[in-house]
Structure 1
Amino acid sequence: MITSLQSSSFTVKVDSLGAQLSSLALDGREYLWQGDPKWWPRRAPILFPIVGSLRGGQAVSEAGPCRMGRHGLARNLEHTILRQSTDSVLYELVSSAETLRQYPYPFRLQMCYRILKPGTLETRFSVTNTGTLPLPFVVGGHPAFQVPVGQASGEAFTDYSLHFSQEMTCSSPMLAETDGLLDFSRRVPVLNHAAVLPLRHSLFDHDALVLEKVPDRTVTLRGGKSGYGVRLDFADFAYLGIWSPAGEAPFVALEPWTGCSTATDEDDCLAHKRGMRLLPVGETAEYAFTITVF
């Protein structure tokens, strides 16, 4: 079921299947990728309780074996609306026999989308451990944005750049060719004492870029001609994934993560993954990021 939120000329739509964004429009311009299956059928899935992949799709844990596909299970399940107003909606997903077969931990996941002001949307994750063992999890967002942004005419993918708040020198771990795991010992240079990363499709020849220690945990996608763009602020998230499919896909995903895909230097214990949080019994953890379109 699609739910619509609105504030002035800013309209947001969210799908209860996966509790994922399905539209971000300002002044009639659509900013969110619209899920063309030619390139990628999704739009902005939420990632829980893992980001990326497990080795062979499996891991061991204190509660038993975990068997999950890429990015976990929440994005594929129907979420229940708990509360809705003109400018916010709160969803809930609770563990079930279906989730426990994949991830043997009781949990409650709430997703709140709230318009803070016209053009700015907050996405908030709330994870509660309803079981009897510490809950291992990470969360992440995967919003993808049209490039050209806002359906601007006369622009190309290469007219856009990613802007950071400070100059930095950074590289991204590569994906291992055999199993698709992150290899932190093999890295691709991304920026060298620079604050602007011009977009080009070849950036994604090795799949996603994975950045750590992004200054101020903010990034802005901006068109050089139209001036249209998107700003992502992700103070609660240690990693930024940047992704577009191989080829000439007309979008880029800006993904805040608290953890990342299994790495080649890690074992198969879920609790040992980078960024994994072990949430005590009965406690709740919250993480939020904002998207601002202009």
Structure 2
Amino acid sequence: MITTIENKNLSVKIDSLGAQLNSISLNGREYLWQGDPKWWPRRAPVLFPIVGSLRGGQAESAAGTCRMGRHGLARNLEHKILRQTAEAVTYELTSTADTLEQYPYDFRLCMSYRITAPGTLENRFAVTNTGKHPMPFVVGGHPAFQVPAGQAEGEAFEDYELRFTKKMTCTSPVLVGKDGLLDFTNQIPVLHNASILPLSHRLFDHDALVFEQVPNNTITLIGRKSEHGVRVDFPGFDYLGIWSAAGDAPFVALEPWTGCSTATDEDNCFEHKRGMRSLAPGETAEYAFSISVF
């Protein structure tokens, strides 16, 4: 079921299947990728309780074996609406016998979407451990945006750039193997003492870029001609994934993560994955990032 929240300028649609964003439209201009299956049929999956992949699709935890596909289980399940206003909606997903077969922990995940300014949407995760044992997990967003942004005319993918708030020197680990594990011993140079990364399809020849500790936890996608674009602010998220599909896809995903895919130097213990958080029984953790379109 598709639900709409809106104000005078911004209209946002959310799909209860996966509680994923379906549309972000500012003054009638669409910014969110619309899921063309030629390149990628999804739009903005919710990632929980893992980001990326497990080695061989599974890992051992204190509660038993975790068996999940890429990016976890939340993106493939129906979420129910808890509450809704004109400018906000909250969805709920709780553990079931089926989820316990994949992820042996009882949980409650609430995804909230709230318009906070004329062109800004807050995306909030609230994760609660409803079980009796400490619960390891990570969360992440995966919103993809059309390029050109906002249906701007007369621009190409290469007319866009990614801007950071400070100059930085950074590399990205390579994704390897059929599972897409991260090899932190094999790093691709991406930026050297620069704050602007020109967008090109060749950036994604090795799949996604993965950055740690992005300055001020902010990234902006902007067109040099139209100056249409998207800013994502993600305090509390230690990783940022940047991705576009093979075949010169006309979108780029800007993905705040609290953790990342299994790395080649990690063992198969679920709790040992980079960025893994642990919730005590009854405890709730919240993480939020915002999307501003212009």
TM-score of the pair, normalised by structure 1:
0.99
1:53 corresponding residue in structure 2: 53
**In the alignment, is the contact (CA less than 8 A) between 2:22 and 2:44 conserved in 1?**
yes
The answer for unaligned runs of 5 or more in structure 2 is none
Q: Does 1:142 align with 2:150?
A: no
The one-letter amino acid of 1:292's match is S
Distance in structure 2 (CA, Å) of the matches to 1:289 and 1:9: 20
Q: Which runs of 5+ in 1 are unaligned?
A: none
Tell me the distance in 2 between the aligned counterparts of 1:253 and 1:284. 28
- The number of aligned residues is 294
2:293 and 2:12 map into 1 onto residues whose CA distance is 11
Distance 2:179 2:128 in 1: 32
Q: Secondary structure of the equivalent of 2:267?
A: coil
Deviations 1:177-203 (A, max 9, x none): 354210000001110000000000000
Q: Secondary structure of the residue that 1:60 maps to in structure 2?
A: strand
> Which residue does the alignment assign to 1:170?
170
Partner of 2:221: 221
Match of 1:108 in 2: 108
1:287 corresponds in structure 2 to 287
Match of 1:95 in 2: 95
Equivalence for 1:161: 161
Partner of 2:233: 233
Which residue does the alignment assign to 2:246?
246
Q: Deviations over 1:152-201 (max 9, x none)?
A: 11000000000000000000000123542100000011100000000000
Residue 129 of structure 1 is matched in structure 2 by: 129
Percent same amino acid at aligned positions? 72
Q: Separation in 2 of the partners of 1:287 and 1:27?
A: 28
What's the secondary structure of 2:56's corresponding residue?
A: helix
- 1:138-160 deviations in whole A, cap 9, x for unaligned? 00000000000011110000000
Q: Please list, as runs of the form range in 1=range in 2, the aligned pairs for 1:69-88 lying within 5 A after superposition.
A: 69-88=69-88
- Equivalent residues in 2 for 1:268-279, closer than 5 Å: 268-279=268-279
Q: Distance in 1 between matches of 2:180 and 2:49?
A: 19
The residue identity in structure 2 corresponding to 1:65 is T
Helix, strand or coil at the partner of 2:61: coil
* Paired residue type of 1:119: G
Offset from partner CA, 1:96-128 (integer Å, 9 cap, x none): 011000000000000000000110000000000
Whole-angstrom CA distance in 2 between matches of 1:226 and 1:27: 15
AA paired with 1:34? Answer: Q
Distance 1:235 1:278 in 2: 19
In 1, Cα distance between equivalents of 2:277 and 2:180 = 23
Decide whether the 8 Å contact of 2:172 with 2:189 is kept in 1.
yes
Partner Cα distance (1:177, 1:269) in 2? 19
> After superposition, what is the alpha-carbon deviation per residue over 1:226-272, rounded to whole angstroms, capped at 9, x for unaligned?
11000000001000000001221000000000000000000001000
Native 8 Å contact 2:49 2:72 kept in 1? yes
Q: Give 3-state SS (helix, strand or coil) of 1:65's partner.
A: strand
Alpha-carbon distance in 2 for matches of 1:118, 1:100: 40
What's the CA shift string for 1:6-35, capped at 9, x where partnerless? Answer: 111210000000000000000110000000
Aligned pair in 2 of structure 1 residues 97, 203: CA closer, same or farther (>3 Å)?
same
Q: Which residue of 1 aligns with 2:27?
A: 27
> Would you say the 8 A contact 2:136–2:271 is kept in 1?
yes
**TM-score under structure 2 length normalisation:** 0.99
Give the secondary structure class of the aligned counterpart of 2:264: coil
**Structure 2 residue identity aligned to 1:14:** I
Partners of 1:14 and 1:176 in 2: CA distance: 33
SS at match of 1:56: helix
Aligned to 2:5: 5
User: How far has the Cα of 1:213 moved from its partner?
Assistant: 1.0
